[in-house]
Amino acid sequence: MSGARDTADVPAKAPSAVDEFWQGVRDELPLMFGVIPFGLVFGVIGIESGLTIVQTILMSSILFGGASQVVFAQLWAAGVPAPIVGSSVCVINIRHVLYSASIASYLKHLSLGWRFLLGYLLTDEAYAVSIRRFTNGYPGKFQHFHLLGSGSLLWASWQASTIAGVVVGETIPESWSLTFAIPLTFIAIIAPIMRTRAELAAAVSAGSLAIIGQPLPWNSWLIIAALGGIATGWLVHRHDNAKRRNQ
């Protein structure tokens, strides 16, 4: 994509709704390498945690958030009281407010039906590819079809891989230690994004609190460790920023 000819072509041929949709699907494709195994793992874990087939499969469309679904299944299997399961899931998913806020200026003009649909499809992975399109791409009037494309592919592959995982999970012996795939999946997500001192501090304090807090009632260690990690990361971030400004 270079040269004056491409640039000159832009106004003449703005992408249509169909173009944008398929562009969204294509941009989302490489992320399938992470999403499909994760969906499989969730399907297996749902069954191994004692959820029914219907509960496991429907959770993927009702909650539609990988990490939170795994935590839900894990805590439910451990016999944690329902309010704690619920609030743990909510803490994990609250980050979506950030995506919603950051993408809002591109979607606010749409009808309520569109905003409902695109809001539902606004996952980590769909947000990641479509915000890049919105900020760098054509500011066309069919832009939102890009998010429809990326979100639809993600949704369909998440449902399909969950179902596949449920089918496979029924036949996998427990001796394979497949539940260890949960921490491994999360390691794959956070190890590459850990950059700053503040992020490291957040991880260290969340990890330590999670161990120290084990004897606490109702498995409340998860919420306490999460909130402690967030607070520590934020304080270190503030401190580092203030120091940088003073230099």
Partner 1 sequence: MIWLIMVATGIFTFGTRFIMLNRVAERELPPWLVEALNFVPIAVLTAIIVPAVLIDPVSQSFSILDNQRLFAALIAVTVALITRQVITTIGAGLTTLWILEWLV
Q: Which of residues 110-139 bind partner 1 (CB under 8 A)?
A: 115-116, 118-120, 122
Sign of the CA dihedral running 114, 117, 119, 122: negative
> Minimum distance between the CB of residue 8 and partner 1, rounded to whole angstroms?
35
Q: What does the alpha-carbon distance between residue 39 and residue 164 come to, in Å, rounded to a whole number? A: 8
> Minimum distance between the CB of residue 12 and partner 1, rounded to whole angstroms?
32
Contact, 205 vs 232, CB < 8 A? yes
135's tokens? 């900020």
> Minimum distance between the CB of residue 105 and partner 1, rounded to whole angstroms?
10
- Which residue lies nearer to partner 1 by CB, 14 or 67? 67
Number of chain positions touching partner 1 (CB under 8 A): 90
- Which residue lies nearer to partner 1 by CB, 14 or 119? 119
Q: What does the alpha-carbon distance between residue 75 and residue 86 come to, in Å, rounded to a whole number? A: 10
4 binds partner 1 (CB under 8 A): no
166 binds partner 1 (CB under 8 A): no
> Minimum distance between the CB of residue 159 and partner 1, rounded to whole angstroms?
14
78 binds partner 1 (CB under 8 A): no
Q: What is the DSSP letter of 122?
A: -
Q: Could you tell me which stretch among 13-21, 31-39, 133-141, 158-166 binds partner 1 (CB under 8 A)?
A: 31-39
- In single-letter form, the type of residue at position 138 comes to Y
Output the DSSP codes for 63-97. T--HHHHHHHHHHHHTT--HHHHHHHHHHHHTTHH
Q: Kindly tell me which residue out of 173, 184, 242, 244 binds partner 1, with binding defined by CB under 8 A.
A: 184
